[in-house]
Amino acid sequence: MSAHSRRHFLKLSLATAASSIIHAPLIHATISKHVVIIGGGIGGSTAARYLRKMDSSIKVTLIEPKSHYTTCFMSNEFLAGLRSFKSLEFSYHKLAEQGISIIHDYVVAIDADKQSITRSSGDTIHYDRCIVSPGIDFKWNAIEGYDETTAKDIPHAYQAGQQTLTLKKQLDAMRNGGTVIIAPPANPFRCPPAPYERASQIAHYLKMHKPKSKIIILDDKEEFSKQKLFEAGWKRHYGYGTNHSIIEWVSVAQGGHVESINAKSHIVSAQADDFKADVINIIPPQQAGKLAFTAGLTDQSGWCPVDHKTFESTIHKNIHVIGDSSISSPLPKSGYAANSEAKVCAAAIISLFNGDRPLAPSLINTCYSLLAPNDAISVAMVYGYKNDKIIKMDGAGGLTPNDTSDHMRQREADYAHSWFNNITHDIFG
Amino acid sequence: MTVSKPVKYTLMSCLLFGLNAHAVSPNKASLLANACAGCHGPNGSSQGPATPSIAEMSPVYFIESMSAFKTDERPATVMNRIAKGYTKEQIKLMADFFYSQKMLRTEQLTDPAMASLGETLHAANCEKCHAKGGRESADDSGLLAGQKIPYLRYTIQDILNGDRAVSRKMFKRLSSIHDELDSDGIEQLLHYYGSQK
């Protein structure tokens, strides 16, 4: 660019800028752009940040009852004694600094026709678009004797926080030679590899501190995520497949399905047998978060059908559902997926406000599982969009190779920790 | 066309200003690049400890790296699986997006004495291609100043093992540092790069 044309360009852009200032209030007066986000987890918080980042003229309100978010991911390292609980906690003050209004309250109702939500305080808030990101809820009593009350003593630890602390306390208090039962549900559920990473991390803790103890996984499935890689890792570290294995896996065909539990006697009745355990971790079957049901956003599957380009509910207009609650398969229900969906949803909302066609989404999911310190495996995939559906990109993605070296799995562990730092920084600032 | 930094930032600020005032809808490049932030940090600046920053990276280097991941020519954990999901055009858009971002350097634990020795080694062996103390990422050279130390260590291991192709000259220089000073020389270089703010 010549000196002359550069000067001309700058003059021109200054003129454009000046006219923008004059016209800006006019735009605000004609188009109301208020997005109310319900749920300050991975999906909701990411959406709030990216809406503000990409278009600061949008008013963003985030409604979340808790003052802190505790991440489920990496909470298994806390159970192993390798990470502080505090490192899993994130506050909302950076979001507030970004100009996002944070309201710590429950939402009791959404009126899709009037485009308004009602808080537990009785106040109503009008929205132009609403994003619902309520995470998961549990199907209580799907396992006889396991409900919200029992869960206080027999933790699921699948929504991090007090539940995680309870499980850790019980593991710490357990005798050497005790039995831990982990009972994962059938598909679909949040973060499919997590119960098996949990088994790995608890096994590491037991190996270090209570080596006579064991873990029995009573599974409601015939196979599970990253199975070969997990089993190879368990062989490397925990004697899997031998008589001294810390971990034993009982598939559904072997009678792993849990029928009932007795909270008092600590007996878990599976199809195969009754198991007496010192610590019981039931991960119950799941469905969309409560609010999704209250607002009528779910279908008969118990999850929320959405348009795959915008994540707008196919049941109610102007309400978008992201994260674990949405039916976004082939995307898994994972933290990375929720983060990626939130950005696509935020971009789509901005385009819709502007009267533009939203772009075809592009998403990533990467999910690491830590088998032991310095040993991790992963699954990754890139997602595109074809024929109105999110699709896996041909030839992309997959698992850590089975024959990978110790050295490469050490790298994966380093990258897993980097992923945690970067994604939480991306979400909470 | 190469755009100088001042002009680039002026262009960017005009674009940003325009974005807010005229409510410009998100473009393809940002949509693609946003998905990378989960691992590489917002706008490509990594918090570490290991995943590299990709903000400010030379587009030539970015495109070359993605192509090498795609064809499994470069050792990788997940990047070879990720790179295969993108077309040439998409990779070009991401390369330009990340080049236009400013790399934020986070504090890394380094030893000042080691860093100082590393600075001398860098000046004698690396500065010619990795200009300004490895701060400049031009053409096919990567970003070194403030880059994450574990990442750089892995990369140099791969180069010395012959698992990652580099120019003959670079291989010879790195090998001679390694042969003369053992791993100390490499560590001094890493402390120098990691110490830069």
Q: Residues A129-177: pLDDT tens digits? A: 999 999 999 999 999 999 999 999 999 999 999 999 999 999 999 999 9
For residue A27, pLDDT beyond 50: no
3-class SS letters over chain A: CCHHHHHHHHHHHHHHHHHHHHHHHHHHHHCCCEEEEECCCHHHHHHHHHHHHHCCCCEEEEECCCCEEECCCCHHHHHCCCCCCHHHEEECHHHHHCCCEEECCCEEEEECCCCEEEECCCCEEECCEEEECCCEEECCCCCECCCCCHHHCCCCCCCCCHHHHHHHHHHHHCCCCCEEEEECCCCCCCCCCHHHHHHHHHHHHHHHHCCCCEEEEECCCCCCCCHHHHHHHHHHHHCCCCCCCCEEEECCCCCCCEEEEECCCCEEEECCCEEECCEEEECCCEEECHHHHHCCCCCCCCCEEECCCCCEECCCCCEEECHHHEECCCCCCCHHHHHHHHHHHHHHHHHHHCCCCCCCCCEEEEEEEEEECCEEEEEEEEEEEECCEEEECCCCCEECCCCCCHHHHHHHHHHHHHHHHHHHHHHHC
Least confident of A24-28, A159-163, A218-222, A333-337: A24-28
Going by C-alpha positions, the residue among A418, A349, A423, A353 that lies closest to residue A48 is A349
Q: Do B78 and A425 touch (CB under 8 A)?
A: no
Size of interface A-B (CB pairs under 8 A): 157
Q: Does A15 touch chain B (CB under 8 A)?
A: no
Name the pLDDT band for A318 (thresholds 50, 70, 90).
Answer: very high
CB-CB neighbors (< 8 A) of B28 in chain A: 359
Percent of chain A with pLDDT over 90: 92
Q: Do A415 and B7 touch (CB under 8 A)?
A: no
Among all chains, which residue has been given the structure tokens 């291609």?
Answer: B129
Distance from CA of A332 to the nearest CA of B (A): 15
Q: Do A343 and B34 touch (CB under 8 A)?
A: yes
- Choose from B5, B15, B31, B94 for mutation: most chain A CBs within 10 A: B31
In a domain, A365, yes or no: no
Last residue of a domain, one of A263, A286, A309: A286
ipTM (interface pTM) = 0.90
Name the pLDDT band for A352 (thresholds 50, 70, 90).
Answer: very high
Mean pLDDT (whole number) for A238-258? 98
Last residue of a domain, one of A338, A360, A382: A360
> For position B181, what pLDDT does the model report?
82
Contacts of A358 (CB under 8 A, 6+ apart): A309, A310, A347, A348, A351, A352
For residue B165, pLDDT beyond 90: yes
- Choose from A8, A42, A382, A428 for mutation: most chain B CBs within 10 A: A382
In a domain, A83, yes or no: no
In a domain, A41, yes or no: yes
Across the interface, which of B22, B47, B154 has its CB nearest the CB of A421?
B47
Name the pLDDT band for B183 (thresholds 50, 70, 90).
Answer: confident
Across the interface, which of A17, A356, A419 has its CB nearest the CB of B17?
A17
Please check whether residues A177 and A197 belong to one and the same domain. yes
> For position A6, what pLDDT does the model report?
46
Q: Do B81 and A417 touch (CB under 8 A)?
A: no
- Choose from B22, B39, B161 for mutation: most chain A CBs within 10 A: B39
In a domain, A175, yes or no: yes
Averaged pLDDT score across all residues of chain A: 94
For residue A74, pLDDT beyond 50: yes
CB-CB neighbors (< 8 A) of B39 in chain A: 366, 415, 418-419, 422-423
Nearest residue of chain B to residue A56 (CA atoms): B20
Please check whether residues A281 and A159 belong to one and the same domain. yes
Please check whether residues A157 and A233 belong to one and the same domain. yes
Domain B112-195 classification at class level? mainly alpha
Q: Do A395 and B150 touch (CB under 8 A)?
A: no
Q: Do B23 and A353 touch (CB under 8 A)?
A: yes
Query: How buried is A121 (Cβ within 10 angstroms: 0-12 exposed, 13-18 middle, 19+ buried)?
Result: exposed
For residue B7, pLDDT beyond 70: no
For residue A12, pLDDT beyond 70: no
Rounded CA-CA distance A95/A51 in Å is: 11
Nearest residue of chain A to residue B39 (CA atoms): A419
Check which CATH number belongs to the domain holding A344 and give it.
3.50.50.60
Please check whether residues A262 and A308 belong to one and the same domain. no
Percent of chain A with pLDDT over 70: 93
Residue spans in chain B of domains classed CATH 1.10.760.10: 5-36+46-99, 112-195
Please check whether residues A237 and A190 belong to one and the same domain. yes
Please check whether residues A154 and A281 belong to one and the same domain. yes
Name the pLDDT band for B49 (thresholds 50, 70, 90).
Answer: very high
| Structure tokens, B181 | 């000073």
Which domain covers residue A168, as residue numbers? Answer: 150-286
For residue A313, pLDDT beyond 90: yes
Name the pLDDT band for A114 (thresholds 50, 70, 90).
Answer: very high
Please check whether residues A40 and A160 belong to one and the same domain. no
In a domain, A402, yes or no: no
> For position A30, what pLDDT does the model report?
56
In a domain, A86, yes or no: no
Distance from CA of B77 to the nearest CA of A (A): 6
In a domain, A187, yes or no: yes
> For position B138, what pLDDT does the model report?
86
Query: How buried is B91 (Cβ within 10 angstroms: 0-12 exposed, 13-18 middle, 19+ buried)?
Result: buried
Question: How many folded domains does chain A comprise?
Answer: 2
Q: Do A362 and B90 touch (CB under 8 A)?
A: yes
> For position A31, what pLDDT does the model report?
73
Mean pLDDT (whole number) for A32-59? 97
Which superfamily, per CATH, for B5-36+46-99? Cytochrome c-like domain (1.10.760.10)
A166/B1: higher pLDDT: A166
Nearest residue of chain B to residue A25 (CA atoms): B21
Mean pLDDT (whole number) for A26-42? 81
> For position B46, what pLDDT does the model report?
98
Nearest residue of chain A to residue B3 (CA atoms): A1
Please check whether residues A158 and A264 belong to one and the same domain. yes
> For position A391, what pLDDT does the model report?
98
In a domain, A396, yes or no: no
Name the pLDDT band for A32 (thresholds 50, 70, 90).
Answer: confident
